[in-house]
Amino acid sequence: MAQNKLLTASGILLGIFVILVLIQFIRIDKTNPPVDAAKDFATIANPPQDVQLILRESCYDCHANTTVYPWYSDVAPVSWWLKNHITDGRRHLNFSEWGSYTAKKADHKLEESIEMVEKGEMPLTSYTLLHPQAKLTAAEKEKLLSWLKNYRKS
């Protein structure tokens, strides 16, 4: 009896292991779409260096075409989940495509960005856990928000 249970347990473990190995062959596409500096938010809105740095460090991995993929982006199924966030993030807001937004859309995205940062919903917690430097300090949050609000008014 006990031996049967042991056999079943090792069979299940082996099965999980085989699946984990096999899914590694399903790779994600890590090529970044081309970047046209003229269309980038940084060029168009020209925020001060410190604000630019905050955006690059806390938002650009998911909301621009300049994503830096970490080592675990090679490990399925984490890679799939990560790729999903990037695709979804870019679809909602892409700072690299800012120049293609209509004035109305750009204003709406600024409004949403302010709201998301105020509520603490962005950057995503799952991201800041692994990228501690992306977490906004109270001072960074304040700086980013006041700049975004002023820029929106102009």
Phi, psi of 49 (to 5 degrees): -50, -45
Nearest-angstrom CA–CA distance, 99 and 45? 10
Q: Are 30 and 61 in contact (CB under 8 A)?
A: no
Give the one residue of 45, 65, 98, 123 binding ligand HEC; rule: CB under 6 A.
Answer: 123
* Nearest residue (CB) to ligand HEC, 16 versus 53: 53
Q: Are 58 and 134 in contact (CB under 8 A)?
A: yes
Told to check if 28 binds ligand HEC by CB under 6 A, we report no
With the C-alpha atoms ordered 72, 74, 116, 59, is the resulting torsion angle positive or negative?
positive
Give the one residue of 42, 45, 51, 59 binding ligand HEC; rule: CB under 6 A.
Answer: 59
* Nearest residue (CB) to ligand HEC, 74 versus 112: 112
Told to check if 89 binds ligand HEC by CB under 6 A, we report yes
List residues binding ligand HEC (CB under 6 A): 58-59, 61-63, 85, 88-89, 92-93, 109, 112-113, 116-117, 122-124, 127
